[in-house]
Amino acid sequence: MKLAVPFAAALAILLAQEASPPPTAAKKETVVVTGTYEPVAIEESDRAVRRQEIRAGAEALTANSVVDFLNRDSSVDLRQRGGHSIQTDVSLRGSTFGQTLVLLNGLRLNDVQSGHHSMDVPAAVESLERVEILKGAGSTAYGSDAIGGVINFITAAPESSELRVRGALGNFGTNQQRVSAAYAGNRISQHLAAYRDFSSGFMPNRDYRNLALTSSTYARTRLGTSSVILAHNDKPFGAEQFYGNFNSWERTKTWWASGQQSLGERTQASFAYRKHTDLFVLFRDRPQVFTNRHAAESLQASLRRTETLGTNTRLHWGAETLREKIVSSNLGRHSRARGSGYTVLDLRALRRFSLSLGAREEFFRSADAQFVPSLAGGAWLAPSLKWRASVSRAFRIPTYTDLYYQDPGNRGSPDLRPERAWNYETGVDWNPSTSMRGELTLFHRRERDGIDYVRRAPTDIWRATNFQRLHFTGVEAAVRARLASRHRLDFSYTGLHGAQDALAGVFSRYTFNYPSHLGVAGWQTELPGGWVARTRVGAVQRYARDAYAVADIYAARGRSLVRPFVQVTNLNDAVYQEIFGVAMPGRAVRGGVEIVLRGRSN
Position 128 pLDDT exceeds 80? yes
pLDDT band for position 27 (cuts 50, 70, 90)? very low
Position 6 pLDDT exceeds 90? no
Candidate from 59-73, 162-176, 298-312, 368-382 with smallest mean pLDDT? 59-73
Instruction: Determine the average pLDDT of the residues in 62-90.
Output: 86
Instruction: Determine the average pLDDT of the residues in 34-49.
Output: 78
Query: Quick one: 8 exposed, middle or buried, by C-beta within 10 A (0-12, 13-18, 19+)?
Result: middle
Which pLDDT score, from 0 to 100, does residue 367 have?
Answer: 57
Amino acid at 143: G
More confident residue, 166 or 8: 166
CA distances, 481 to each of 32, 403, 429, 438 (Å): 19, 46, 14, 9
Give whichever of 236-245, 346-355, 381-390, 503-512 has the largest mean pLDDT. Answer: 381-390
* Residues contacting 500, CB < 8 A, separation 6+: 512, 543
- Specify whether the CB–CB gap between 351 and 21 falls below 8 A: yes
Position 147 pLDDT exceeds 90? yes
* Residue 344 to residue 46: CA distance in whole angstroms: 14
- Specify whether the CB–CB gap between 360 and 341 falls below 8 A: yes
Instruction: Determine the average pLDDT of the residues in 172-188.
Output: 93
Candidate from 14-18, 22-26, 141-145, 238-242 with smallest mean pLDDT? 14-18
Beta strands in 282-402 (DSSP E): 291-310, 313-328, 332-349, 353-364, 368-382, 385-396
| Residue 348 CA from chain centroid, whole number | 29
3-state SS, one letter per residue, for 164-199:
EEEEEEECCCEEEEEEEEEEECCCEEEEEEEEEEEE
Which pLDDT score, from 0 to 100, does residue 526 have?
Answer: 87
Homologous superfamily (CATH) of 4-601 is: TonB-dependent receptor, beta-barrel domain (2.40.170.20)
Which pLDDT score, from 0 to 100, does residue 273 have?
Answer: 98
- Specify whether the CB–CB gap between 495 and 514 falls below 8 A: no
> Model pTM?
0.91
Position 8 pLDDT exceeds 60? no
Which pLDDT score, from 0 to 100, does residue 222 have?
Answer: 86
- Specify whether the CB–CB gap between 148 and 93 falls below 8 A: yes
Residue 272: left (phi > 0), alpha (psi -120 to 50), or beta?
beta
pLDDT band for position 2 (cuts 50, 70, 90)? very low
* Residue 374 to residue 36: CA distance in whole angstroms: 12
Which pLDDT score, from 0 to 100, does residue 21 have?
Answer: 38
pLDDT above 70 covers a percentage of the chain that reads: 92
pLDDT above 90 covers a percentage of the chain that reads: 66
